């Protein structure tokens, strides 16, 4: 009887283990399937694109109008969207690392805490959109200036980009290329611009309170009427830079 009981106990333990493992596999498969279904159900041709958390990495998006698209936390790494429209799109916390988006329209887009590390945004437009704050398919679009609070733009190429009036507070622009960029009136409180290239950048009227431009290259940048209160400018390059007083020098520029 004792030996029979032991054999039964061993069988029960084995069966339980098999069921546990099988259940884990099935749950894992179910989660993956749900993710696949979510990705497949992302209709980029819809009048209102709503694809939160969708995996669109590596896709060519140039054929789609993503104006006002809802793509928070979406995986957009390496996407190609040269000259495309993502104006007023909701892209907060989205991953756009390495995206190729020359001359893309991102006016009034919400890029709060988005990752754009190494993205190519040469000639991109990130200023206010004239249709912002107007209804679009029964939903109000974002505020009338792009929101890039806390965005990660390290090493991004923003050559000649239009960032007029953009909200870049606490954004990380370490090593970013901002040659010829228009940042007039931009809010850049606490922004990290260490090592950034700002050749001929327009920073007139920008708020750079407590910004860090250490090691940045400000060659012929225009800081007329900019607020530089509490900013850090260790080892920055100043050749031909126009300071807030409208004069070239003395350097480093101060408010």
Question: pLDDT (tens digit, 9 = 90+) per residue, 182-200?
Answer: 999 999 999 999 999 999 9
Q: Is residue 164 part of a domain?
A: no
Lowest mean pLDDT among 10-14, 112-116, 118-122: 10-14
Q: Is residue 210 part of a domain?
A: no
Question: In Å, how far are 13, 35, 147, 223, 253 from 23, measured between CA atoms?
Answer: 15, 18, 44, 62, 65
Q: How many domains does the chain have?
A: 1
Residue 133 pLDDT greater than 70, yes or no: no
pLDDT for the residue 204? 98
pLDDT for the residue 143? 42
Question: What are the tens digits of pLDDT across the range 45-75?
Answer: 998 899 999 999 999 999 999 999 999 999 9
pLDDT bracket for residue 118 (50, 70, 90) = very high
Q: Is residue 16 part of a domain?
A: yes
* 85, β-bridge pairs: 105
Q: Is residue 69 part of a domain?
A: no
Higher-confidence position of 156 and 31: 156
Question: In Å, how far are 172, 187, 208, 224, 252 from 232, measured between CA atoms?
Answer: 15, 16, 10, 17, 10
Q: Is residue 36 part of a domain?
A: yes
**Residue numbers of the domain that contains 23:** 1-41
Q: In the chain, which ranges are continuous DSSP H helix?
A: 2-40
Residue 2 φ then ψ, to 5°: -65, -45
Residue 41 pLDDT greater than 50, yes or no: yes
pLDDT for the residue 139? 44
pLDDT for the residue 179? 96
Q: Is residue 149 part of a domain?
A: no
pTM of the model: 0.77
Residue 242 pLDDT greater than 80, yes or no: yes
CA distance linking residue 221 with residue 205, whole number of Å: 12
CA distance linking residue 60 with residue 53, whole number of Å: 18
| pLDDT, average across residues 99-110 | 93
Q: Is residue 1 part of a domain?
A: yes
Question: What are the tens digits of pLDDT across the range 4-22?
Answer: 554 545 544 433 433 333 3
Mean pLDDT of the chain: 83
Residue 142 pLDDT greater than 60, yes or no: no
Q: Is residue 19 part of a domain?
A: yes
| pLDDT, average across residues 172-180 | 95
Residue 87 pLDDT greater than 60, yes or no: yes
Answer for the pair 207, 228: CB distance below 8 angstroms, yes or no: no
pLDDT for the residue 255? 84
């Amino acid at each position: 009887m004792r030996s029979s009981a032991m054999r039964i106990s061993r069988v029960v333990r084995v069966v339980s283990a098999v069921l546990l493992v099988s259940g884990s596999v099935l749950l894992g498969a179910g989660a993956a399937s749900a993710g696949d279904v979510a990705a497949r159900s992302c209709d980029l041709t819809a009048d209102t694109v709503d694809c939160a958390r969708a995996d669109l990495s590596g896709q060519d998006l140039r054929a789609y109008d993503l104006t006002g698209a809802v793509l928070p936390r979406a995986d957009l790494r390496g996407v190609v969207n040269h000259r495309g429209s993502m104006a007023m799109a909701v892209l907060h916390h989205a991953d756009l690392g390495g995206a190729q988006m020359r001359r893309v329209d991102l006016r009034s887009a919400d890029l709060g805490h988005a990752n754009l590390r190494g993205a190519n945004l040469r000639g991109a437009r990130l200023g206010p959109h004239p249709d912002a704050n107007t209804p679009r398919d029964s939903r109000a679009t974002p505020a009338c200036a792009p929101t890039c609070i806390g965005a990660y733009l390290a090493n991004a190429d923003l050559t000649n980009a239009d960032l007029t009036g953009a909200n870049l507070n606490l954004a990380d622009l370490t090593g970013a290329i901002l040659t010829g960029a228009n940042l007039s009136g931009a809010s850049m409180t606490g922004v990290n611009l260490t090592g950034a290239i700002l050749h001929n950048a327009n920073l007139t009227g920008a708020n750079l309170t407590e910004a860090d431009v250490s090691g940045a290259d400000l060659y012929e940048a225009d800081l007329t009427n900019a607020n530089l209160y509490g900013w850090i400018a260790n080892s920055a390059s100043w050749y031909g830079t126009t300071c807030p007083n409208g004069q070239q020098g003395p350097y480093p520029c101060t408010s």
